[in-house]
Structure formats: C-alpha cells, structure tokens
A = this chain, B = another copy of it.
C-alpha cells in the first residue's frame, strides 16, 4: 500500500520531469496527479525515494529529479510501451515500402526513426554472419584485372577489384566462376573459408595461382566487412536537448564506428527492447544519454540492430514504441524481398 504509493510518486515525478524539464516539487505533484494525499505526505515519500537513490535534488531548495536508477525502475516496472497511432503506422509502412535496395532500406529507416522519435537514430547494416551466398560473379575488366562480386541473400553486394598474376582468358574465368558458384551457392558466409580451403587442389595445376589470388581477396573481404557499417541521422535533434555532458562529445561518439558498434552490440537480448540509461553506459562522453535498441532481421533470424539515442530525460514509453514498431516493419520488408 505505502510502497505502491511511493512507486506512483516516482512514476509521477518521471512523467512530470520528462514533460516539463523542471525539477518537480511536492505541491505541483499533489495538484497534477490525484494521488489522494497531501503534499506533506508526498514529501515524506520523496525523502525515502531520495534515500534509496531513485531521485535527487539539484539544489537544497529545489524539486526532485529522477536519477538513472529512478529511470531504470520506471522503465522496468512503472511504464508500458506506448504503441504508435494508426496514422504513424501507415506512414512508416508506406515510407519503407518504397525502398529499392538494402542501402535504401537502411537510409530510409534511419531517417524515419529520427523523425519519428525526434532524436538521433542509429541503424546497423544487416550483418553478414547469418547471410548466405546467393551468387558469385567474376567480371573481367581488362586482361589482368577482374572484378569480384559477392551477392548475399540479404541483398547486400560486396565487390572488389582483383589484380591477376597472369593474363587470363574468358574461358578460364567462366570455368572458375562455375566452380566457385557450385561450391558456394547457398553456403553461409561463416562457412565460406572451409568450403574454399581445398578448392585450388581440385583445379588443374595451371589454374591454381589464379584461384589462390581470387580466394585471398574473397576471404579478406569477408573478414574486413565483418566490422559492420552503422549509420545515424537526426543529429540536429540533439541541438536543443541538454545533455549533462557536452554536445561535442556525443557527436564525436556518434562518428566513431567502434563506439556505435559496441553501443548497439553489447545488448544481451536480441528479441526484446534493450534500454541503457545514462551511467549504465560504459562510455564517458555518453553520460547523460540513453539508448533504446531493438534487433531486426528477415525471417526469424536477427540480423542486426537499430535504435535511438537521446537525453536521459526522454519519453521512454513513446520512444520504445517507435523503435519496436520500426524494427518490426523493417524485418517485414526484408523478409519480403
């Protein structure tokens, strides 16, 4: 009973603070929310909440502000993800449906999410780890050069130019192409190294150096692209917000692929929404910000993650709703293509 009310007070504090951006006092709370008790009682509850570390006061004679721990409790137990409105859902759907290729899907998604949440959106390209080879193509560019193109089932295309050790005619290229496709078609990218390991030995002796060159490029491109690409949008939305730390640090972090990677990657559970609040984030420079992350993917496999980053003082229910919805729609689009 008493405990319940105390939680209600915490919820009210979070909600008010998020919407007004001002420390909230006992009197205002008693007025705006009908908690059925007097300001004095609320003050007592607040003292306890502060004792327990859920709220804090900026100055002695100011109202209370939620701490990271307070937000955490709010997100875990006091709030419900808020679904999007019908209009918003339709807008998402039609906006994403127009995408022509994987690049386009990612670009549209990140912009959409930024606009929807009015925060910084972050989207990771579908990882190659769970993709399979759809086709390998060798395109002669000149006598001693060819372009190597790898197409995956997620629509991603990797290409490399290969300098050849010798002059090679079209017939030999065709043969190699056929052999490569035969051994790799449908094969998961992680298995590729195994599959091609013995390939040179299955070829005529004179083709082996050629095959070796191409394979080394192939393997290299797999390794290299393993560190995934991440894009963001909506940096302008940070301009107004008051991050406790400087805006500069946040922008710098956003441009560091590595930081972004870990930001999205270090979430434990892929199928649910992950929220990391303020100091829960290991990176200084991102103190004062929170992130909401969801996994997405085609079919039942989670391929990558997307999310938004904003000030700790954000509207979690709404943001979580938007992230979850966008993740679902993107998954849908990818599954269909």
A contact set with B: CB distance below 8 Å: 100-101, 134-135, 137, 139-141, 147, 149, 151, 155, 157, 159-161, 221, 224, 233-236, 238-240, 246-249, 251-252, 254-255, 337
Minimum C-beta distance from A274 to chain B (A)? 26
B137 near A149 with CB under 8 A, answer yes
Residues of B within 8 A of A239 (CB): 246-248, 251
B240 near A248 with CB under 8 A, answer yes
A233 (CB) vs chain B CBs: closest residue: B255
**Complex alpha-carbon distance, A157 and B254, angstroms:** 27
B236 near A252 with CB under 8 A, answer yes
Task: Please pick, from B100, B161, B235, B236, the residue contacting A101 in the complex, using a CB distance under 8 A.
Answer: B161
Q: A161 and B337 in contact (CB under 8 A), knowing A135-B147, A233-B255, A235-B255?
A: yes
Residues of B within 8 A of A221 (CB): 100
Residues of B within 8 A of A147 (CB): 134-135, 151
Task: Please pick, from B155, B160, B248, B252, the residue contacting A161 in the complex, using a CB distance under 8 A.
Answer: B155
Minimum C-beta distance from A106 to chain B (A)? 13
Q: A101 and B149 in contact (CB under 8 A), knowing A239-B251, A248-B239?
A: no
Residues of B within 8 A of A157 (CB): 149, 157, 159
Minimum C-beta distance from A233 to chain B (A)? 6
Residues of B within 8 A of A238 (CB): 251
Residues of B within 8 A of A224 (CB): 100
A137 near B134 with CB under 8 A, answer no
Residues of B within 8 A of A233 (CB): 255
B255 near A234 with CB under 8 A, answer yes
Residues of B within 8 A of A137 (CB): 137, 139, 149
A248 (CB) vs chain B CBs: closest residue: B239
Residues of B within 8 A of A155 (CB): 161
A236 (CB) vs chain B CBs: closest residue: B251
Chosen A-B contacts, 30 in total, with CB atoms closer than 8 Å, are: A100-B160, A100-B221, A101-B159, A134-B147, A135-B139, A135-B141, A135-B147, A137-B137, A137-B139, A137-B149, A139-B151, A149-B149, A149-B151, A149-B157, A157-B157, A161-B337, A233-B255, A234-B255, A235-B235, A235-B254, A235-B255, A236-B248, A236-B249, A236-B251, A236-B252, A238-B251, A239-B246, A239-B248, A239-B251, A247-B247
10 smallest beta-carbon distances between A and B, as pairs? A239-B248, A236-B251, A236-B252, A135-B139, A239-B247, A235-B251, A236-B248, A157-B159, A137-B137, A235-B235
